[in-house]
Structure 1
Amino acid sequence: MSSTIQKILQLCERQCFIQPVKDSLDLVEYFKFGFAGELLKNNVHQEWMLGVVINADENVFPFHSCKSASRDIIKDFSEPFEYVKKLNNAQLPFGITETRQDVRDTIDSSLQEEMRYFYPKKHTTLLSCIFAKPGNAMQRFYQWQRQRKMWWRKLNSIVRIRSEHVIPYIKIILLLLLQFSASPGRFSLTDIQNMPEAQLVEIKAEFPWGSQTVETIRYFGAKPFENSGDEHKTIFEVKDGRKKVLPHIIESVISLDTSVMVFVCDAFDEPLFLDSPRQVTRFHRKLAPYKVSFSASSSSATVGEELSELSLFLTKQLRNAGISTLLLPDVARKSLESQFARNDELGIPYTIVLNDATLRNGIVGMRSRDTTLKEQVHVYELKTYMEKLLKNY
């Protein structure tokens, strides 16, 4: 096993992200998610819903079935399709998504050890189907490939330094100083493969130990209806002008559990701090389990208590605004560097630093995980400023 994946797995266990549970064949049976991993998984799922449902070009309708999936599009989607067809006045295009608990039939035991960590037997599948007009379905297939590739690239761990936050010459310096382990170029599309049942495209992520498939996209056309009965064909018939046609189907599938592992590996970095390497997970702000944490340095126990009370007040403000905030009891008891190191491992983008002067002038330092620099913000402006930072990519 490569040293990099070993370090990532050790960090994941130490900071309660994700722990692979293996079976007797040394294959991953399932992933055990810790508190940070559950938040990360939820954020990935939310961003997937935002990408394929909320921001979709057509109406897309999510549903969840309690029935076990047959992996047959016609059987699995006939019930929701009938309802959506009526709601959409039998007009194409539209889409349906499903989040389902799944079990892989087989896992290739010959996979190299590093790759096995991306294929848990029990996992959550995120499935999206677009039902398109026959005339422009192929065009939608190509468009969907581009959109999905951009989704993965958008959520990689590259930091976007915005011009309104730093003056131009500092921006140039920061860009030169930053050391990132990931880049948008990590994610790429394969060539189209012509399979008997569909045309297949994969989105892959390149890592030092190999290439990992993160999403599969299939264009079935109308082939799924060829072997289905007349009853199913009637259910799926829709209008195209004055004609009745069968939709062409584009399917997209990702594993939520695999996606979490991919984003953790993508975010992992070991930059130098004071000539020594420090492990950092550079999650995109939208994916980071916690967006903000607090640390404090005080000249006395009394001041430390006052700073702890202030950090609690600010935490409540941020949480009430929907900003995931971590506040631990050692906020004024451990050294700043030890707190920064822990927050960097947890992937927290911003640490709010309080000190004695904060009690006099209301100014806090907002430390960036990725630049390690601090900017000054007044406590009354902190919530509004954080909302603006996190609203934008």
Structure 2
Amino acid sequence: MWTRCVRTGPWRRVTAGSCARSLCSSTRTPGGLEPLLRLCVDRYYISPGRANTERFRRGVRCSYGPLGTELRRNLLEQWWHSVSRSSAQVFGIESVSGSGDGAGAGAGAGPLRTVESELLTRLLERQELTKEQLVREALLLLQRSPAARADLLQGALEQFVPALELVNRKLPFGLAEAGPCFQPSDGSGCPAEVTQTSLVWFCSPRTSSQWLDHWTRQRLRWWRKFALSPSHFSSSEVPSEELIEAASRGVRIQYSFPWGPETLETLWSRGDAELLHTHQGVRSKLQCRDGKKSIPHVVSVTGNLDRGVMAFLSNSLQQLKREDSKQKLLQRTVLKLHPVLTPVKVALNISRGATVELRQVCEGLLQEFQEAKISAWPGYLETLPPSMEQLNAKYDEMGVLFTVVISENTLESGLLQVRSRDTTIKETMHVSEIRKFLSRYISVADTN
């Protein structure tokens, strides 16, 4: 059954498809994005189709291909490790969309509501209703419909009291969550789904500003850790005229795309007003053991995971030019994603020779990699394998870290050839060493 998300507010008659038209008309192709779009579609990062690439352009949730899904999963996993390892007092939570009162949907605008299309269509087709009756019926329909969350803050505020008991009423501590949220996009008024990451940090009032600075440094360092060009990631204070109602300070972490900066995460020092409102002003159950019976202040870190995926794809794309031995200018396109983020760590291929025996070696290596949780691409299964030069070009665009070639020499001596994506250097290695080599390489990259 189809549903539509609408925001509570002034009601007006709409025609079918008007929302979709306004959304499409507000999207434009930013300069410098087309090469990235083509690569992402051709190399299985996002699904093809104009509507899907437009969602990708805007940094909202789109249909990911197999490699994009794996990249997104790797990024989310690294985000969770970064916030949970940064402090012993960060706990994961799961909240339900629509469980709160719509807080965070925007001052005065009301929450987004999920409405069944069939009910809405039947209501709009009732020509006997006057304008006032239509407005009244529409508002009743909206009030009965569940709220679609615009952010994850409310869930953390609601779970503050049981979490406070968990930590023996001592500060500071944080609640972390990731999940889908709906937000208006590009001024069109049409909601767009985003995958949001959220860390809500509860601390004493006197330290909230220091904690905002701490999390700004920590988050910027995390984004830059995986970047090929770290300087493209930056932070800046939110101007006073752009502060949200509850916040005394704000910081944006941004990425400089070829078409301009876009926000990846926003940090707010929010005070205690929202926490008090959520718990109906009952101060006694919110007070902590800091000797002053004070109400904790809230520092929130809210990120857009989908735009983060786009930022790392953009940051990693390189188009390199070189001359071959005949002084012919060649261009090499390579997606130099960080080793822990890249979806495929190694591609397995065979050269000409005893195909059955070579495939058996590849299958044995593939099983080893799976046991070590090293993602591998079974290139040896291609029925019409291209030349090694074409394969290398394909794997570079996919971001594959290493290409392993099994040959007749492997059957005789156990030696295979390993090509590096980043250096293009080819090395000879014994088949028994490749698993350990890859595990060590990825582990070292994760700690740097």
- Please give the range of the TM-score, normalised by the shorter of the 2 chains: 0.7 to 0.9
Task: For residue 237 of structure 1, give the secondary structure of its aligned residue in structure 2.
Answer: coil
- Alignment RMSD (CA, Å): 2.6
Matched, 1:280 2:326: no
Contact 1:214 1:255 in 2 (8 A): yes
2:86 to 32, 51, 56: 56
The 1:75–1:8 alpha-carbon spacing in structure 2 relative to 1, beyond 3 Å, is closer
**Aligned pair count?**
354
State the match for 1:66 in structure 2: 96
Task: Write the distance in 1 (CA, Å) between the matches of 2:371 and 2:51.
Answer: 42
2:358 to 295, 298, 307: 307
1:291 to 345, 355, 358: 345
How big is the shift at 1:365?
Answer: 1.9
- Of stretches 134-143 and 211-220 in structure 1, the one that deviates more from structure 2 is 134-143
Task: Write the distance in 1 (CA, Å) between the matches of 2:374 and 2:204.
Answer: 41
Give structure 2 stretches of 5+ with no counterpart.
Answer: 1-28, 105-151
Matched, 1:81 2:160: yes
Contact 2:269 2:300 in 1 (8 A): yes
Contact 2:171 2:202 in 1 (8 A): yes
Task: Write the distance in 1 (CA, Å) between the matches of 2:386 and 2:416.
Answer: 18
1:257 to 300, 306, 313: 306
- Of stretches 85-94 and 191-200 in structure 1, the one that deviates more from structure 2 is 191-200
How big is the shift at 1:229?
Answer: 5.6
State the match for 1:269 in structure 2: 318
Contact 2:342 2:401 in 1 (8 A): yes
The 1:211–1:42 alpha-carbon spacing in structure 2 relative to 1, beyond 3 Å, is same
1:334 to 376, 383, 386: 386
1:97 to 176, 201, 209: 176
Task: Write the distance in 1 (CA, Å) between the matches of 2:274 and 2:315.
Answer: 36
State the match for 2:125 in structure 1: none
Matched, 1:237 2:287: yes
Contact 1:295 1:332 in 2 (8 A): no
Task: Write the distance in 2 (CA, Å) between the matches of 1:80 and 1:211.
Answer: 34
Rg larger in structure = 2
- Residues 90-111 of structure 1: CA deviation (Å, up to 9, x unaligned): 000100012121111342359x
- Of stretches 272-281 and 121-130 in structure 1, the one that deviates more from structure 2 is 272-281
State the match for 1:169 in structure 2: none
Give structure 1 stretches of 5+ with no counterpart.
Answer: 111-118, 159-182
Matched, 1:41 2:93: no
Matched, 1:361 2:391: no
- Residues 292-342 of structure 1: CA deviation (Å, up to 9, x unaligned): 1112322x3xx2332222111111101111111111312893311111111
Residues 213-228 of structure 1: pairs in structure 2 closer than 5 A? 213-225=263-275, 227=277
Contact 2:31 2:259 in 1 (8 A): no
Contact 2:90 2:175 in 1 (8 A): yes
Contact 1:296 1:331 in 2 (8 A): no
Task: Write the distance in 1 (CA, Å) between the matches of 2:383 and 2:429.
Answer: 19
Identical-pair percentage: 28
The 1:319–1:101 alpha-carbon spacing in structure 2 relative to 1, beyond 3 Å, is same
Task: For residue 4 of structure 1, give the secondary structure of its aligned residue in structure 2.
Answer: coil
The 1:125–1:341 alpha-carbon spacing in structure 2 relative to 1, beyond 3 Å, is same
Task: Write the distance in 2 (CA, Å) between the matches of 1:293 and 1:146.
Answer: 36
- Of stretches 130-139 and 36-45 in structure 1, the one that deviates more from structure 2 is 130-139
State the match for 2:62 in structure 1: 31
Task: Write the distance in 2 (CA, Å) between the matches of 1:341 and 1:315.
Answer: 22
State the match for 2:149 in structure 1: none
How big is the shift at 1:62?
Answer: 0.9
Aligned letter for 2:289?
Answer: K
Contact 1:295 1:331 in 2 (8 A): no
- Residues 69-101 of structure 1: CA deviation (Å, up to 9, x unaligned): 634587432442222111100000100012121
How big is the shift at 1:348?
Answer: 0.9
How big is the shift at 1:149?
Answer: 0.3
- Residues 199-252 of structure 1: CA deviation (Å, up to 9, x unaligned): 111011112211111111111122434655645534432211x33221111101
The 1:367–1:332 alpha-carbon spacing in structure 2 relative to 1, beyond 3 Å, is farther
How big is the shift at 1:347?
Answer: 0.7
State the match for 2:231 in structure 1: 185
State the match for 2:396 in structure 1: 344
How big is the shift at 1:279?
Answer: 2.0
Contact 2:96 2:155 in 1 (8 A): no
Aligned letter for 1:64?
Answer: E
Task: For residue 169 of structure 2, give the secondary structure of its aligned residue in structure 1.
Answer: coil
Matched, 1:201 2:232: no
Return structure 1 stretches of 4+ with deviation > 6 angstroms: 20-24
Task: For residue 286 of structure 1, give the secondary structure of its aligned residue in structure 2.
Answer: coil
Task: Write the distance in 1 (CA, Å) between the matches of 2:282 and 2:335.
Answer: 48
Matched, 1:15 2:43: yes
The 1:105–1:290 alpha-carbon spacing in structure 2 relative to 1, beyond 3 Å, is same
Aligned letter for 2:256?
Answer: E
Aligned letter for 1:347?
Answer: G
